Structure 1
């Protein structure tokens, strides 16, 4: 940084007009932009705020009349939000983690660190672990025995990677994320109250109080390439076989992925999603915030769930789901509209009952 408008346009593959030699060193919202900022006025309603700032250049939508907006230069993108992905990468100076191996890091002599790996203060890398080239291991990160992490990984401070976990290239894990904790697997000597309730849908007659025995998690976790894990999210290891995450999956903060779960490629798992053990998720699935998926279910490709959806049965490919229990979104919204009409309907029925029980005396 800084970059000229021409350099940005070439890097993003979009059109630049006006004084393309103009330099910018940061991005800003239109009303807050300074003279050396690139204003992000990606919709007409945002562009109206340019007059409140001092930007000379802006990213706009294709065909925008940038001159009428008082700008000296403009970047015109067919899909500005997509162009912002590349732009934000150019403008991101990073967290400033140090290069090389910090003297307080503890690295087992049998671990293998490829060329260009950085390890921050008080990080611990266990026996036989393998870290790919160019990876950054932040402060107080733990990487367990036999874990394998591909090239170009970025593990922010406080990340925990358990033993025998395998992760592909360009993995990003944010603060406090955990991969490879044991699954939540416990069993009682006799069928428990929870098991009886599940079978009978409510009746736990005959169940007795019992202590729980722990089932150890012998499987690992296998994660593909280009996966990003949000802060304080957890992916549990499998009981016998590995929990599996496909390429290109992105997890928001506080997501919980249970043991033996299999997730396909390019899925979006939003904040506070919980997927119970042994469920299978297809490709290109989007699970909205606070979606809950019960255990041993299958969700097909290209399914989308709205926020707070609770999935209690299998979902065919391509469905858009909402509600508790989950049903097709249009059906759920229709039921919600009818629910809102209930008070008026109840009042109408009460009035009808009153008129029938007390007929007009003039009759």
Structure 2
């Protein structure tokens, strides 16, 4: 249950309405008219709340829940407590996300351009845009329909933002072409100089960063993350990618579709990620590498060589997960021997 100090109290819905919105099936059709008031966790839910079970580790909580209804996988139905209404789906977590969205739809301000925003006369602003206080929008900027630019954001000259983009407060965007339905959370930095310089005994010589950042559609960039523009050519982020908070993406990185980059990762320049790559928290990736599509790297790993597609790697230096685990076992065995 959300705190109504920060979230509007949801409107109640019948299970039939919920099922239609989330693509679930009622275990018992006669429960269709049962009314749920809100969503809640298994352990906190009351008899008018909707909860969900996705991780089997919480099966005990499910068996003891007081929730009126629960979203579950059909395989978990035999463990349901008596009287709980069941919404069956092969993807309980996704279905819960859709249910939570239905109870708590994201609200946005009405179209408005603040008198305290500074917008260059040549900038083009689409229909239905909200431009907050102290926003600056530079020369020849193009912003699509339905934009939401929050206070103190800075949009540099020539930047293009597609439709339904949201730029969080105190973010800055330069040298960038951004697609539709992109959200930049507070403090994001897009398009600043990459970390490029020639090393010389007389002093470092800066390499001009002459590229751009090209961001696809349906992307989220978490708070205080940074994406540097290319030195020559572009830094690219593929459609459907989600980047967590506090991530650094270096110049000329090429990232495919649907990647997931968890917080505090760092990806050095000119590295290429295929489609649907997952990097766990605090992964560091050296420059000029290739990580194949659907590869996964465990948290805190240090990637120093190319990773083939669909492989799982971990450790420092990162290696195939099975190799790392075997080495860990052998090391523990050696440690135990030295204690004898």
TM > 0.5: yes
Contact 1:266–1:285 (CA under 8 A) maintained in structure 2 = yes
Q: Aligned pair 1:69/2:82, yes or no? A: yes
2:234 alignment partner in structure 1: 242
2-structure distance, mates of 1:323, 1:107: 49
1:13 alignment partner in structure 2: 23
Q: Aligned pair 1:187/2:198, yes or no? A: yes
2:4 alignment partner in structure 1: none
Structure 2 counterpart SS, 1:109: coil
Deviation at 1:169, TM superposition (A): 0.8
Q: Deviations over 1:144-195 (max 9, x none)?
A: 1111111111222222111x300111101112111111101122335xxxxx
1:197 alignment partner in structure 2: none
Instruction: From 156, 166, 171, give the equivalent of 1:154.
Output: 166
- Mean CA deviation greater in 321-330 or 53-62: 53-62
Deviation at 1:268, TM superposition (A): 0.8
Q: Aligned pair 1:144/2:156, yes or no? A: yes
Q: Aligned pair 1:79/2:83, yes or no? A: no
Q: Aligned pair 1:101/2:113, yes or no? A: yes
Structure 1 counterpart SS, 2:186: coil
Instruction: From 166, 172, 181, give the equivalent of 2:183.
Output: 172
Unaligned ranges ≥5, structure 1: 191-209, 349-363
Contact 2:301–2:318 (CA under 8 A) maintained in structure 1 = yes
Q: Aligned pair 1:226/2:237, yes or no? A: no
Deviation at 1:42, TM superposition (A): 4.1
RMSD: 2.2
2-structure distance, mates of 1:152, 1:74: 36
Deviation at 1:313, TM superposition (A): 1.3
Instruction: From 318, 325, 332, give the equivalent of 2:317.
Output: 325
Contact 2:195–2:250 (CA under 8 A) maintained in structure 1 = yes
Structure 1 counterpart SS, 2:191: strand
Distance verdict in 2 for CA 1:314–1:96, change over 3 Å: same
Unaligned ranges ≥5, structure 2: 1-10
Structure exhibiting the larger radius of gyration computed from Cα positions: 1
1:293 alignment partner in structure 2: 285
1:37 alignment partner in structure 2: 49
Distance verdict in 2 for CA 1:143–1:69, change over 3 Å: farther
Distance verdict in 2 for CA 1:36–1:120, change over 3 Å: farther
2:208 alignment partner in structure 1: 216
2-structure distance, mates of 1:65, 1:121: 55
1:352 alignment partner in structure 2: none
Contact 1:32–1:52 (CA under 8 A) maintained in structure 2 = no
Q: Deviations over 1:73-118 (max 9, x none)?
A: 3322122012123223223343654542222222222111111111
Output the TM-score relative to the length of structure 2.
Answer: 0.89
Deviation at 1:138, TM superposition (A): 1.5
Q: Aligned pair 1:308/2:300, yes or no? A: yes
Contact 1:60–1:77 (CA under 8 A) maintained in structure 2 = yes
Output the TM-score relative to the length of structure 1.
Answer: 0.83
Q: Deviations over 1:288-313 (max 9, x none)?
A: 11111111111111111111111111
1:193 alignment partner in structure 2: none
Deviation at 1:140, TM superposition (A): 1.6
Distance verdict in 2 for CA 1:185–1:47, change over 3 Å: same
- Mean CA deviation greater in 275-284 or 60-69: 60-69
Distance verdict in 2 for CA 1:347–1:184, change over 3 Å: same
2-structure distance, mates of 1:189, 1:23: 71
2:333 alignment partner in structure 1: 341
Deviation at 1:22, TM superposition (A): 2.9
